[in-house]
Structure 1
C-alpha cells in the first residue's frame, strides 16, 4: 500500500472511530430516555410522552439529531469502503492466518453492521417516522402519544424477538468497535489496555441488556391489555 492510500485509509478509520464514539455517546442518552418505559404504565406514558415532546421542540436537540444522521451515514459508508479495500488488498498477498485467533465477531463486523442497519430501517420507520409524519393520537396532556405506538409495536412477540436479537448484534459490534476506535485514535496505549477493555466490555453489556429488557418488559406487562 502506497503512502497516499495508507493516509486515505487512516483518515477513514479515524473518521469512522470518531463517528462511532459519537454514536456510542448517543446510545447512552437514548437508553437513559427509554428507561422511562420501565416505570408503571400510567407514569411511563406521561413521562415518556413529555420527554419525546421536549426533544422534538428543542433546537439544540434538533442540531444533535442532524449530527446523528450524518454520523450514521458516514460510519456506514466508511465501513463499506474500508471493507471493500481490505478484500481487494487481501487478494494480493499470502494468506494471513492471524484471523483464526481473533474473535468471531471481530471477523464478522460487516455482517453485524448490516444486521444493525436493517434494524435501524425498521426502527426509524416504526417510531421516528411515525412520530414525525404519522397521525398519532394525543394523550391526556395533549402530547403525541408515542408511548401507545411503542406498546403497540411490542405487542407482537416476533417484533420483540427481532429487537432483542438486534441488540445482541449491536452488543457484539460494540465489543470490537470500541477497541478498534481506541486503536484508531491512538488511545489503546499498553498502559491503559486493561482499563479500555474493561470499560468497553462493561459499556457493551450495559447497552445491550438495557435496550433488550425494555421490549421484553413491555411485552410481559402490557400484553394482557391487548387480550
Structure 2
C-alpha cells in the first residue's frame, strides 16, 4: 500500500493522474459538444431544454457529472503542484537559450489551464448553478400533437413549490414542462463581452488540447511507431480544431442571430 501511495505521490504518478483525468475530460468534451449542438435546432429550445433536463435528472448521468467535477479539480490541482515543483527545482533561469523544439502550447500550459479554469467557474456559475440552485431560470411548456407533429410553446408557471419537470400525454398531445435553459443561454450569448470571453476560452482550449491530448498518451506510455501519428492527428483535428470551433460557433451564431 505504501508503494502504491509513493508511486502516485511521485512526479510520474502525478503525471499519470493528470493524463487519466485529462483523457476523461476530453471524452466529456465530445459528449458535451454533441449535446450543445441541440442549440442549433430550430425548435424554440425544445431539444436543448429536454437535453438539459435529462443531464440534471438522470441518476447515472448525475454520478458521472460529479466524477467530472472531481476530475476538473484534480487535474487543475496536480497541474499547479507540478508547475510549482518544476519552478522550485529550477529557480534560476538557464544562462543559455533553450533551442529545443517545444511548441508554444507546451510552454504555456499553465497559462492556458488558468484561462480555462477561470472560464469554467464563470460558465458553471452562469448556467449550471443558476439552473440547479436558483429560480432565475423559468419554465417552458411544449405541447406536441403526436399525430401531426405540430408543436406549440408557451411560458409555464408552476403551481406547486419545488416543481422540476413533467412529461404527460393527453388526447394524443405530448405535454413537456421543463426549465427553460435555452432562454438563459440566448440571453448570455446576446452580450458581446460574454461572447468574447467564450471565444478566448475556446482559443485557450484549442492550444491546451493541441499539446495535452498527445502528452497524455506519452505519460501513460502508450507510444507506438504506427499509432502515435494517428493519435497526433486526432489531437490536432478533432480536439484542437473541430471541438473548440464547435463550441465557439454557438455564442457567435446566437449573438448575430439575436441582434
Q: TM-score, normalised by structure 1?
A: 0.90
What residue in structure 2 maps to residue 175 of structure 1?
210
Distance in 1 separating the partners of 2:94 and 2:205:
32
Q: 8 Å contact 1:154–1:219 — kept in the other structure? A: yes
Question: Which of structures 1 and 2 has the larger relative contact order (alpha carbons within 8 angstroms, sep 6+)?
Answer: 1
User: Counterparts in 2 of 1:113-192, with a 5 A limit?
Assistant: 113-135=113-135, 136-140=137-141, 141-192=176-227
User: Structure 1 residues 26, 222: CA separation in 2 closer, same or farther (over 3 Å shift)?
Assistant: same
User: Structure 1 residues 161, 144: CA separation in 2 closer, same or farther (over 3 Å shift)?
Assistant: same
The structure number with the bigger radius of gyration is: 2
Distance in 2 separating the partners of 1:108 and 1:96:
20
Q: Which has the higher helix share?
A: 1
> SS where residue 179 of structure 2 aligns?
coil
Q: Which has the higher strand share?
A: 2
What residue in structure 2 maps to residue 220 of structure 1?
256
Q: 1:158: how far off?
A: 1.2
Q: Where does structure 2 lack aligned partners over 5 or more consecutive residues?
A: 1-5, 142-175
Distance in 2 separating the partners of 1:194 and 1:15:
23
Superposition RMSD on alpha carbons, in Å?
Answer: 1.9
Q: 1:95: how far off?
A: 5.4
Q: TM-score, normalised by structure 2?
A: 0.79
Q: 1:192: how far off?
A: 2.3
Q: 1:97: how far off?
A: 4.5
What residue in structure 2 maps to residue 112 of structure 1?
112
Q: Where does structure 1 lack aligned partners over 5 or more consecutive residues?
A: none
Q: Which moved more, 1:94-103 or 1:13-22?
A: 94-103
Q: 8 Å contact 1:178–1:200 — kept in the other structure? A: yes
Distance in 2 separating the partners of 1:115 and 1:62:
26
Q: Tell me whether 1:29 sits opposite 2:31 in the alignment.
A: yes
What residue in structure 2 maps to residue 10 of structure 1?
12
User: Structure 1 residues 36, 6: CA separation in 2 closer, same or farther (over 3 Å shift)?
Assistant: closer
Q: Tell me whether 1:195 sits opposite 2:197 in the alignment.
A: no
